[in-house]
Amino acid sequence: MADQQQILLHPGFHRTGTSSMQHFLWLNRDALAPYLTIRLTRHFKSVARLCTRYSTTQNPLNLTDIISELDAGFAATPVPTGRNLLISSEMFCGEIPGHGTVMDYSAAPSLITYLVGYLEERFPEAKITVLLSTRDAEEWLFSVYRHVLRRSRLTMTREEFATTYRDAADFEVVAQDIAEAIAPLDVLYLPLDHALQNPLGPGAALVDQMPLPDTVRDALLPVGIGAKGAEPHLWGQFLAMNRADYPDDQVTAQKEQMAEAAKLGHWRKA
């Protein structure tokens, strides 16, 4: 009897090593391909947009539109019959808190339930597991603050941001809501500090949840931390620019020039 197909859905959370994990998956996609199909945001861009839109509007119509877009994504890049599947996109839990009107992850249980339901129908014989990557609350709040500071005209101080969005950092509560919503399916947790202990980087800690021959696992290329947040001198300048009376496009362009010069978000080896 053939082994049961396994599907691992990794929908975030944001700023928990997800970019590094996805870079690892993409870098090693050819080595993994005979054993594990990889699907990232790039394969489901329209689905990601609908998920972020739903987290902003809470409009159920955004959920119903997801079905056809998932169908299109799987039609464009089919999963070989019986092949194990790993899907990783933090956008599947919605927009990052602090961006626009999104205050927390209250949309995540509905989104993940909807995605899991689709996978159960498309792959009825598969064992589906959801993995949530997490992070220390204070570290996460500071990381999100720097990210949103760079990507928007946020004018809060670090302390004001942490106070305003503290509930969003309570991953245990959100994870419990998700686990209850998709029961009896398994929900796994991968804290970033644990994932960083893997010698190949956080992405390898994610892949470790899937069955692979040791020869393949040992040959995977390492990826360390990427998507580094702005250093103090930079995020201080970003805050000042956000508060200044300059046009949005000018501020955006200048911040991106500064970020590129500082190599923010560039990858390094593990």
In a domain, 268, yes or no: no
pLDDT in tens, 168-196: 999 999 999 999 999 999 999 999 999 99
Give residue 97's pLDDT: 98
Q: Domain tally for the chain? A: 1
Tokens of 180: 């209850």
In a domain, 257, yes or no: no
In a domain, 230, yes or no: no
Amino acid at the residue 229 = G
Give residue 226's pLDDT: 56
Q: What is the pTM of this model?
A: 0.94
In a domain, 160, yes or no: no
In a domain, 156, yes or no: no
Instruction: Supply angle C-alpha 167, 176, 119, rounded to 5.
Output: 115
Helix (H) or strand (E) holding 164: helix 158-164
Region 63-76 average pLDDT: 95
- Under the banding of pLDDT at 50, 70 and 90, the label for residue 259 is confident
pLDDT in tens, 34-49: 999 999 999 999 999 9
Give residue 269's pLDDT: 47
Range with the poorest average pLDDT among 62-66, 81-85, 124-128, 237-241 = 62-66
In a domain, 265, yes or no: no
Question: For 229, phi and psi rounded to 5 degrees?
Answer: -75, 165
Give residue 262's pLDDT: 81
Give residue 266's pLDDT: 54
Burial 138-171 (b: 16+ CB within 10 A, else e): eebbbbbbbbbbbebebebebeebbeebeebbeb
Sequence-distant contacts of 137-144: CB under 8 A, at least 24 apart: 137/166, 137/169, 137/170, 137/171, 138/162, 138/169, 139/192, 140/13, 140/15, 140/16, 140/169, 141/165, 141/166, 141/169, 142/229, 143/15, 143/229, 144/14, 144/15, 144/96, 144/97, 144/98, 144/168
- CATH code for the domain of 132: 3.40.50
pLDDT in tens, 78-124: 999 999 999 999 999 999 999 999 999 999 999 999 999 999 999 99
Give residue 62's pLDDT: 86
Give residue 233's pLDDT: 80
Give residue 263's pLDDT: 77
In a domain, 30, yes or no: yes
How much of the chain, in percent, has pLDDT values that exceed 70? 95
The domain of 93 spans: 6-149+169-224
Average pLDDT, the chain: 93
- Under the banding of pLDDT at 50, 70 and 90, the label for residue 230 is low
- Under the banding of pLDDT at 50, 70 and 90, the label for residue 251 is very high
In a domain, 155, yes or no: no
- In angstroms, rounded to a whole number, what is the distance separating the alpha carbons of residues 129 and 209? 10
